[in-house]
Amino acid sequence: MLSYTHKKTIFANKIRTTKINDMKQSRRTFLKEGLAGTLLLGTSNLIGASPLPDPAKPKVVKAVNPFHLGMAGYTFVNFDLDTTLKTMERLDIHYLCIKDFHLPLNCTDEQIQAFKDKCGAHKVTGYAVGPIYMKSEAEIDKAFDYAKRVGVKKIIGVPNYELLPYVDKKVKEYDFNYAIHLHGPDIKIYSDATDVWEHTKDLDPRIGMCLDVGHDFRNGCDPVADFKKYHTRVFDMHIKDETESTKAGKCAEIGRGKIDFMALIRILRKLNYTGMCSLEFEKDMKDPFLGIAESIGYFKALCDMS
């Protein structure tokens, strides 16, 4: 016969077991109901979790961009060609605007071939040269000869105003597109898209602009509206974001500044811009790689969303 103490112990154990089972059941119910609620709401605090797809919702088809995403060589002014090309390959970017610190203006045919071989190994194509500053007819001659030897038909240039008639003559001779790079409030010539337009509208139609949206914005302009107005003469584009629409504005990662890139992408599509959108990242230029990656990723995401 069980003693009173023994019976008391058995009863206490039954109560403890019941409480543990109740706690386990409550935890299972909480997790089950909590997860179900999370999925129904379409949000989750669980790492890696995502809403269940709605079979009734039509599948979103990504828009096809008529333009290409590239890199402006100046972004890599502090780095050699190998670093530049390896970075571009990791970013899945295949077009480079060539700067003379990677391929000098007085380069030999052997240097040009070695440059092209390196680019090819990383699936990169040099699509233009520049920006090249030109303060004399001799410098214009040298730039056109350089582009021809490199094998591109687009020059991003910054000629003095008085040299534009000579640029017009060379464009007719070489059948190149000549895109004048605007520089915002930082230099006295070609401060914005309107400035370039006013100086080129009566010249050969192959003379136009490289619309640097950041510098245009820093000169108090709206680059989206300017592209809409002058798109027939936009042959190249440098993309970057800016913190302010004044000279005090600083380069920022795309998406962190004040330029409306969603609107820009939509107008590029609407007007069927087929040129390049080359990132020219001018922040943290001694260590720009995280900012470059963030800007490229954000721009690509906007292209998928817009």
Q: Does residue 2 sit in the same domain as residue 97?
A: no
**Percent of the residues in the chain that have a pLDDT greater than 90, as a whole number:** 78
Average pLDDT over residues 51-78: 79
Domain co-membership, 106 together with 8: no
Q: How far is CA 185 from the centre of its chain?
A: 23
Judge whether residue 46 has pLDDT over 50.
Answer: no
Q: What is the mean pLDDT of residues 15-34?
A: 44
Least confident of 18-32, 122-136, 184-198, 256-270: 18-32
Least trusted range by pLDDT, from 52-56, 96-100, 147-151:
52-56
Tell me: pLDDT of 291 over 50.
yes
51 & 77 share domain:
no
> Do 34 and 126 fall within a single domain?
no
The predicted model gives 250-260 an average pLDDT of 98
pLDDT top residue among 56 and 15: 56
Q: What is the pTM of this model?
A: 0.80
Per-residue pLDDT band for 247 (boundaries 50, 70, 90) equals very high
The tally of domains found in the chain comes to 2
In a domain, 62, yes or no: no
* Per-residue pLDDT at 242: 98
Per-residue pLDDT for 41 more than 50?
no
Beta-bridge partner residues of 155:
129, 178
Cα–Cα distance for residue pair 214/244, rounded to 1 Å: 10
Tens digit of each residue's pLDDT (9 = 90 or more) over 179-223: 999 999 999 999 999 999 999 999 999 999 999 999 999 999 999
Please tell me whether residues 225 and 137 are part of one structural domain: yes
* Residue 123 CA: distances (Å) to CA of 1, 19, 23, 90, 93: 89, 66, 60, 11, 9
Q: In whole angstroms, how far apart are CA 180 and each of 80, 113, 130?
A: 26, 27, 10
Q: Residue 306: which pLDDT band, with cuts at 50, 70 and 90? A: confident
User: Would residue 234 count as lying in a domain?
Assistant: yes
Residue 10 shares a structural domain with residue 87: no
The pLDDT tens digits of the residues spanning 219-235 come to: 999 999 999 999 999 99
- Cα–Cα distance, 35 to 18 (Å, whole number): 26
Is the same domain home to 187 and 282? Answer: yes
Does 170 share its domain with 200? yes
20 and 91 part of one domain: no
171 in a domain, yes or no?
yes
Based on the fold, state whether residues 20 and 157 are members of the same structural domain. Answer: no
E strands, the chain, in order: 68-72, 95-98, 125-134, 154-159, 177-181, 207-212, 234-239, 241-242, 251-252, 276-279
Whether residue 170 is found in the same domain as residue 272: yes
Q: What is the average per-residue pLDDT within 157-173? A: 98
Q: What pLDDT sits at residue 40?
A: 33
Look over the chain and give the mean of its residue pLDDT values, rounded to a whole number. Answer: 87
Q: Residue 32: which pLDDT band, with cuts at 50, 70 and 90? A: very low
Domain boundary among 57, 79, 99: 57
63 within a domain of the structure (yes/no) = no
Same domain membership, residue 219 and residue 104: yes
Question: Which of 9, 28, 57 marks a domain boundary?
Answer: 57
Question: What is the structure's pLDDT at 11?
Answer: 46
Say which CATH number the domain at 131 has. Answer: 3.20.20.150
Per-residue model confidence (pLDDT) at position 305: 87
Indicate if the pLDDT at residue 7 is higher than 90: no
pLDDT at residue 24 tops 90: no
Does 222 fall in a domain? yes
In this predicted model, what pLDDT tens digit does every residue of 84-143 receive, in sequence order? Answer: 999 999 999 999 999 999 999 999 999 999 999 999 999 999 999 999 999 999 999 999
Predicted local distance difference test score (pLDDT) of residue 64: 81
Q: Which domain holds residue 279?
A: 68-305
Two tokens, residue 166: 């000579």
